[in-house]
Amino acid sequence: MSDKPYYKVPKSSQPRSFSALDGIILLLVFGVLTALALGTQNMIGSYHLGEQLPISLDPWKLPHYALNSVVRMALALFFSFIVTFSIGTLAAKNQKAERVIIPFIDIMQSVPILGFQSISILFFVRLFQGSQLGPECAAVFAIFTSQVWNMVLSFYQSLKTLPKDLRETAAIFQLNIWQKFWRIEVPYAMPSLLWNTMVSLSAGWFFVVASEAISVNNQYITLPGIGSYIHIALLQQNSLAIGYAVLAMFLIILLYDQLIFRPLLTWSERFKPEPNIEVDYEGTWFLNYLQRSLLVRKLNQFLLDIKNTIINIQLPKRKNHIPIKMRKALQTTSILLFQISVILGMLASLWLFWTFLSHHVSLSEAKQVLFFGLITACKVSFLIVLVSLIWVPIGTFIGLNPKFSKVAQPIAQFAAAFPADILYPLLMMLIITYKVNADLWSTPLMILGTQWYILFNVIAGIQSLPLEVRYAAQNYGIKGWLWWKRIILPALFPYYITGAITAAGGCWNASIIADVLKWGDQEIYVAGLGSYIAKATAEGDFPRIALGIGIMCLLVTIINRLVWRRLYNLAETRYRMESTT
């Protein structure tokens, strides 16, 4: 993995002196830094619980609100990367940690954002008492929880399926753990991580209404942002304001697609084992402008020198004087003690949980909530199967046609970021006018923001398929079902499982939004676990919030252990067997 750029600018067009382009880029950088500084400054101010922050539906306020939302998304994404590189690596390289981290992620990605906010809002408001930083941190934390789990699972999956030849390369060059991580493992995981970062960022936009317009204990906290703008527009039944908010979101997504993700995806091609000659690098106009700038090239060389200095740090070698037999005995004892402590901790938590609930919730209500959970589980299972049948073929087509992905990528990002709340008016009118079943017609809202995990992971899996395999299939005339069975599905399987696990967890989370339809003063509660948790959260009924979240975590854990985790282990085993042959 060299440090030379994958796509090289011809020598004739390489800059030899500073030009007007360098000045434009410098102004752009200062503009971005100034905007981020203003957005961060807007998060600091006095605030007291119960105080209402004014939200105006004036469209000229939208740039200011959009800046606030973008800053929150950027902060959440920054912390998501830190957790991804630390926790994902620990889970992939330490089996004892893996037994705890992966089930924990399976549960956390399905815990509703409203459940996080019910606890985090009180914690942060008390931590930053009298300051707006309290609700701001709660909003950033809520967005963080909607982004991080998918990124951690993607990075974990890439490290677990690292090809044998790359591991041998690290051994041949005698790279230490630190160097292997940055020279081999991170570059190999980068293409998949970028695709999952895009869909995670879109997931943050999907839940932006729930994170910026917080309803806890019959109190509304609205933070200046696009999410609260949409929330107020829905309450006032202002369709024009909703249209302005959708347009603003579209422009923001288009900007970071063209200025950030498209150049990064082109840059990530350098980390693939072989270049994809079908990718149109000339079409990445912003990257071309950056590479023609002498200022950018000087800055890039400066950053490369810093990176190489940090990566090439020699870690001190540990001297282990403990005998092998004693070391194995200590490892066995520590594993046994760890397992015992986990079991005792789980039993104690269950006992405390039930003791707490028994004073507030009856056994019959607990059974009813469990029934609601089973209804939601059936909905989630059906939707995952349905969207898999739709998006696996479409994702395969997009992945095999990179030129088409240039058009499909921003469309998919916008669709993934589209808040389900905006569709409530249309759905409410449909239900009221035609008197259709709300339980049935509200179900698709659960999958709107999460089906894209499957699509983006399928695209990443297809693009990781070696060109030599595709060409060999063409030369031997492999077509039809045999082509899917022998070429496509084995390549997609690890990526699809990662996307499906995250999509299922996100679908459970989205049920909180989809099970409660609001338009002005009208509300429709759909039968399911989501409406139960949403109603309890709005009323500040913490025992019932805990019951709903506990039932959801229990069902998700059972499904993940019986279905998804076995499929994930199968994908990992099969991939490693194929990589060693």
- Summarised one tens digit per residue, pLDDT across range 446-463 is 777 678 888 888 888 887
Q: Residue by residue, what is the 3-state secondary structure of 475-523?
A: HCCCCHHHHHHHHHHHHHHHHHHHHHHHHHHHHHHHHHHHCEEEECCEE
Q: Over range 542-552, report the average pLDDT.
A: 78
pLDDT tens profile 302-313? 888 887 888 777
Look over the chain and give the mean of its residue pLDDT values, rounded to a whole number: 76
Neighbours of 519 (CB within 10 A): 18
Entry pTM: 0.75
pLDDT digits (tens, 9 = 90+) for 498-545: 888 888 877 887 777 777 776 666 777 777 887 888 777 777 677 777
- Give the CATH number of domain 51-278+360-580: 1.10.3720.10
Confidence of residue 3 (pLDDT cuts 50, 70, 90): very low
Q: Which amino acid is at 145?
A: T
Of 198-202, 267-271, 343-347, 533-537, the one with minimum mean pLDDT is 343-347
Task: Please determine, for residue 58, whether its predicted confidence score (pLDDT) is greater than 60.
Answer: yes
Predicted confidence (pLDDT) at residue 555 exceeds the cutoff of 50: yes
pLDDT at 84: 93
Cα pseudo-dihedral 279, 283, 289, 294, rounded to 10: 30
Task: Domain ranges for the chain, please list them.
Answer: 51-278+360-580
Residue 1 confidence (pLDDT):
46
Q: Which of 65, 73, 76, 59 has the alpha carbon at shortest distance from 42?
A: 65
- Say if residue 122's pLDDT is above 50: yes
* Residue 378 pLDDT > 70: yes
Pair 123, 137: CB distance under 8 Å: no
- How confident is residue 113, by pLDDT bands cut at 50, 70 and 90? low
Query: Which helix or strand (DSSP H or E) is residue 221 part of?
Result: strand 219-222
Q: Other C-beta atoms within 10 Å of 76: how many?
A: 23
Q: How far is CA 61 from CA 56, 65, 421, 537, in A?
A: 7, 6, 21, 30
Q: Is the Cα dihedral 208, 212, 216, 219 positive or negative?
A: negative
